[in-house]
């Protein structure tokens, strides 16, 4: 009986804590992480972007960044997905944030 009472009180405490967090407007760790990276204010040219700029794209890390840089130049931004540089889902997340300006020869 004592164990049951302890478990009920523990469950109520957890539920109250979650309710207070939502009521106070706190955001989850995932939301904080998503907003911690600053997104570019204008579309990022994947042919000239630095490693740091590419890493700031949502879902990008060192591996995708290296692959994008190694595959340059691109004549169209969708080549990231069609060439298999990054998965289609990753491309869809960033497609509105990037451009591929043609490189002058």
List the chain domain ranges.
2-35, 37-99
Task: Note if the pTM is more than 0.75.
Answer: no
Q: Tell me the fold of 37-99.
A: DNA polymerase; domain 1 (1.10.150)
Judged against a pLDDT cut of 70, whether residue 18 lies above it is answered with no
- The DSSP letter of residue 99 is E
Judged against a pLDDT cut of 80, whether residue 88 lies above it is answered with yes
Rounded to the nearest integer, the mean pLDDT of the chain is 80
Within a 10 A sphere around the Cβ of 74, how many other Cβ atoms?
22
Judged against a pLDDT cut of 60, whether residue 9 lies above it is answered with no
Judged against a pLDDT cut of 50, whether residue 36 lies above it is answered with no
Residue 94 CA to residue 54 CA, distance in Å, equals: 10
Cβ within 8 Å of residue 88, ≥6 positions away:
81
pLDDT digits (tens, 9 = 90+) for 74-84: 999 999 999 99
Residue 63 is predicted with a pLDDT of: 97
Structure tokens at 95: 């497609």
Give, in order, the Cα–Cα distances in Å from 94 to each of 27, 46, 70, 90, 99. Answer: 23, 11, 18, 7, 10
- The mean per-residue pLDDT over the stretch 22-47 comes to 63
Judged against a pLDDT cut of 80, whether residue 72 lies above it is answered with yes
99: phi then psi, degrees, rounded to nearest 5: -140, 165
């Amino acid at each position: 009986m004592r164990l049951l009472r302890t478990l009920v009180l523990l469950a109520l405490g957890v539920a109250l804590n979650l309710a207070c967090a939502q009521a106070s407007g706190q955001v989850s760790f995932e939301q904080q992480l998503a907003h911690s990276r600053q997104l570019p204010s204008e579309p990022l040219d994947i042919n000239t972007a630095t490693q740091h700029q590419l890493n700031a794209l949502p879902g990008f890390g060192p591996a995708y960044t290296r692959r994008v840089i190694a595959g340059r130049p691109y004549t169209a931004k969708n080549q990231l997905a069609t060439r298999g540089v990054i998965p289609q889902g990753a491309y869809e997340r960033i497609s509105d944030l990037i451009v591929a300006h043609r490189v002058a020869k």
